[in-house]
Amino acid sequence: MKEKEFINIIKNVLQSDYIGDDCAYLKDLGIVVSQDSLVEDVHFKKNLISPFQLGYKSVMVNISDICASGAKPKYLTISLSLPNDINSDFVKEFYEGAKKACNPHPSPLPKGEGENIKIVGGDITSADKIYVSVCAIGDAKGRNISSRKNAKEGYKVVASGLHGSSGAGLKLLLEGKTEPQKFIKAHLEPQAQVEFGSKAGLNIKTTYAMMDTSDGLMDALSTIANESGVLLEIDFDKIPHDKDLEQFNTWQDMILFGGEDYGLVAVVPQEFDAGTQIGVAKKGLGVDLNIDGKTIHFSKQDVEDKIFNHFN
């Protein structure tokens, strides 16, 4: 668990209150900010993703972080490092994909949410492998910003987006398959939950917790539960997913641990009316998963042991 160890070192050195959520909320400026990177052979294989899709996905994963805060995604900068043999077509297609992701077109959107997100800067340099780092800025004005520490007993757990599709798509890609196309598309061209995130930020009047499921639904649930000091009781059968997913032997794992769906999961007051309720927040700690007629408890460590870690 070197990644977690490194993050703890960073927290110790910086003594910063900001480190922890998908976004940092900069109250004095009225914005949230997030930065995430995609590294060749760590987060993607060059032969399995097109330049367009890489540009699209790099942007969308950062838009997703802004959505998870409840803020309105507005601006992006992109740092792109490329091997010397990359040609100008790659750069053109990458930015066409990035631009496409900036116009998310979910419908219907809250008023004023339909405008494009803008790419406003960054840099381009050479490197041995492809490396993309995107910084996203969201407008927090008029929004109630989430924190993963804010789940409370009595709140309900709601999820938005389809869970497990991206994991299925990755499995198909790695096996050289091209069907069902919808799963591959879910992996290569995910859609951030702009509408759901906006509804939470605009409509919830008290504190609440929200995260995206970039590292998997169970990771998000476990993180919120442990950071907030509550037990989240989840009914597996209620988790929104594509029914065709059930053709895969490991479909339950895909839903719980697959990651990269860029859905949102939120622990919110009962009166909030959006997404699909998948559980409740109770006294206790961790996640109780009701699945196949049993209840399985997941401690923080149980979940960490299951999750892909970049430094393992």
Please give the residue ranges that form the binding site for a copy of itself (CB under 8 A).
3, 5-7, 9-10, 12-14, 16, 18-19, 23-24, 26, 28-31, 33-37, 39, 41-43, 74-75, 77-79, 81, 84, 88, 91-92, 95-96, 99, 118-129, 131, 133, 135, 137, 139, 310-311
Q: Which is nearer to a copy of itself, 13 or 178 (CB)?
A: 13
Cβ atoms of 220 and 258 within 8 Å: the answer is no
- The contacts of residue 44 (CB under 8 Å, 6+ apart) are 38, 54, 57
Q: Which is nearer to a copy of itself, 7 or 296 (CB)?
A: 7
Return the bridge partners of 68, or none.
none
Q: Which is nearer to a copy of itself, 32 or 204 (CB)?
A: 32
Distances (CA, A) of 42 to 39, 56, 130: 5, 17, 10
Name the minimum Å distance from CB 9 to a copy of itself: 5
Angle in degrees, CA 147, 153, 157, rounded to 5: 65
C-alpha 302: how far from its chain's center? 21
Q: Which is nearer to a copy of itself, 138 or 279 (CB)?
A: 138
- The contacts of residue 185 (CB under 8 Å, 6+ apart) are 169
Name the minimum Å distance from CB 130 to a copy of itself: 10
**Sign of torsion, CA 231 237 242 244?**
positive
Q: Which is nearer to a copy of itself, 123 or 246 (CB)?
A: 123
Name the minimum Å distance from CB 281 to a copy of itself: 26
| HSE-CB of 288 using CA atoms within 13 angstroms | 15
Q: Which is nearer to a copy of itself, 12 or 249 (CB)?
A: 12
Name the minimum Å distance from CB 1 to a copy of itself: 12
Q: Which amino acid is at 311?
A: F
Name the minimum Å distance from CB 57 to a copy of itself: 15
Q: Which amino acid is at 103?
A: N
Give backbone dihedrals phi and psi of 45, rounded to 5 degrees, phi first.
Answer: -110, 130
Give backbone dihedrals phi and psi of 71, rounded to 5 degrees, phi first.
Answer: -80, 175
Name the minimum Å distance from CB 137 to a copy of itself: 6
In angstroms, the CA 176 to CA 167 distance is: 14
- The contacts of residue 301 (CB under 8 Å, 6+ apart) are none
Name the minimum Å distance from CB 126 to a copy of itself: 5
Name the minimum Å distance from CB 177 to a copy of itself: 27
Q: Which is nearer to a copy of itself, 243 or 310 (CB)?
A: 310
**Sign of torsion, CA 107 110 111 113?**
negative
Q: Which is nearer to a copy of itself, 92 or 297 (CB)?
A: 92
